[in-house]
Amino acid sequence: MTARPLRTALVTGGASGMGRLVVDRLLAKEVEVIAVDRNADALAGLPDHDRLRTEPVDVTDDRAVQALAERIAGDSGPVDRLVLAAGIASGGPLLDEERQRFRATMEVNYLGVVNWVRAVAPAMAERGSGEIVIFASTAGWVPTSAMAGYCASKAALVSFSESIAIELEPQGVRVVALCPPAVKTPMLDDFVSAGALPRKGLEYFKPIAPEVVVDAIEPALKGRKIFCFPGRGTATIQRARRFAPGLTRRALRFFDDG
């Protein structure tokens, strides 16, 4: 079946960070955009646009997500592209981290993606066309000290993305998982303040601009690979962890501030 042209896109975490940048890019492409975020005040701060619809919802509430997806399908028609950018930072030594924060990280970063895929992907598969873009991370490939909860949530996304990509490809649904390194966003500042990312390491491995990540989406969707590693040298980091895990761990210890 021939893929539908991109007409409608839904972006989670669309009120801030890279999700907000995705919204801006899509609006510039003459696409109808639904920006979803749990922060209603931040959504209200988005520019008034006749092709932008905002919907406050918590991605961890599977029933609310399903209800919203059904309402959007009835009001706006099929979602052609689902961009899953909602996420939270979680960092610091595991033994010091609050249990609820650890749980929330997995619920937002991983299960929030699962909820939206389950709500939107069936209609994509039924009509034989659709695109799903998942914001994962190199943290899902390279476990890092003082980031156990965040790395675990992103590792779950890496595995989930590959599984559904294989499952949905025969039904005409394209799945891409973005796996950037550190990105210059407010979330990065949260990690540093929590002691999760050593400043010494960030001085050597410079964080990339959000635009580098977002601008990688279109080329990645046109390709055949499931995983996209935005930024120069990012794929090398993933390969190093895969083929030389011991050396990678020693390198990470070298860049630790301690």
Q: Enumerate the active-site residues.
A: 150
Distance between CA atoms of 3 and 127, rounded to whole angstroms?
A: 9
The tokens describing 218, both together, are: 């279109």
* Residue where the block lists tokens 């675990």: 152
Residue 207 vs residues 151, 182, 230, 234, 248: alpha-carbon distances, Å: 17, 5, 11, 11, 18
Closest CA to 255 of 187, 192, 198: 198
List, in sequence order, the alpha helices (H) in 29-180.
40-44, 62-76, 99-106, 112-127, 148-168
Residue 67 vs residues 73, 82, 116, 120: alpha-carbon distances, Å: 10, 16, 11, 11
The tokens describing 143, both together, are: 């476990």
Mark residue 195 as left, alpha or beta (left: phi above 0; alpha: psi -120 to 50; beta: remaining): left
Distance between CA atoms of 179 and 247, rounded to whole angstroms?
A: 21
Distance between CA atoms of 120 and 217, rounded to whole angstroms?
A: 19
Exposed/middle/buried for residue 151 (C-beta within 10 Å: 0-12, 13-18, 19+):
buried
